Amino acid sequence: MRALPGTRALRTLVSAGRHLNFTRAADELGLTPAAVSYQIKEIEDQIGARLFVRSSRSIHLTPEGEILFEAATEALDTLGRAASRVRKMSRSVTTQLKVTLDPHFATKWLMRRVENFRKRQPGIELRFEVSYELREFDVDDIDVAIRYGGGKYPGLTTNRLFDNVVVPVCSPRLLKSGRALTEPRDLMHHTLAHIEWSRQGVTWPNWQIWMAAAGIHDFDDSRVVVFGTSSDAVEAALAGEAVALADFAMVANDLSEGRLIRPFELSIKAPAEFAYFLVYPNESAADPRIVAFRDWLLEEAAEPVL
């Protein structure tokens, strides 16, 4: 039987076939374009067929290349899913638990509390994958996730952690160097920051909404800076550059330790349809590691924020 290309070569084929560009495939794989071209030529020699048609300006897959590209994509996906399951089985024996969550939730909430879990469950080793990218349980090497969303995920068990309340926050330095904030209208003399986020027709509270709740209906948003993530908006507030609308639970420690203050007590509830959820596959619901982590996390989330 003629030898088949190895998984490394198949990854090169899949990347090149997806990008239809050897340079972009090389960047993705951490190779040089020459190395990608060489690996493709090796596969072609092994298979005995031409996989790509190259011209001075572009490349495209031949009919034979299309067949092998689709098969390689499916094979690597199957291998990836199997490897993920094997790693999870191994972790269940070693009592290691892998958690994925976004950077803002990690730094502002979970990491400040995780030492309590380690004292309570010394036999469970937590491993974290911190990323804004959504991870999939049947593909990626993870056991549980903390997600912000609607909580309706087919095949997954969800536990709502807490609702979100949005409050204005700023650095104490901003009040010393800028115009005093004695009434909400004074905010219009400062740079204001919020995030822009909407799903399913629901919008995250912004300064227009907060000002309307404060009775200000002629709000001029020319001094508003819009950020893509909550962490960036909070960092602008911490740096004394803006007054930010922030999730109260995520800035509670900064407030209690004096790095941020609330210039006004008026708060806005985030859409009730969305919240932070602990998420894991239904078939893993009885896993002792997940049960221990879930019970501890729900207790922490139920604690009043001081």
Domains defined for the chain, CATH in brackets: 7-82 (1.10.10.10), 95-162+273-302 (3.40.190.10), 165-269 (3.40.190.10)
| Whether the predicted pLDDT of 201 surpasses 80 | no
Neighbours of 24 (CB within 10 A): 15
State the pairing for strand pair 165-169/268-269. Answer: antiparallel
pLDDT in tens, 219-255: 988 889 999 888 899 999 999 999 999 999 899 989 9
Q: What angle do CA 295, 296, 302 make, to 5 degrees?
A: 90
Share of the chain above pLDDT 70, in %: 93
Rounded Cα–Cα distance for residues 96 and 113 (Å): 18
User: What strand order describes the sheet that includes 192-195?
Assistant: 224-227, 192-195, 243-247, 165-169, 268-269
Residue 187: HSE in the Cβ half-sphere, 13 Å Cα cutoff: 26
Record the pTM. 0.65
| Whether the predicted pLDDT of 1 surpasses 60 | no
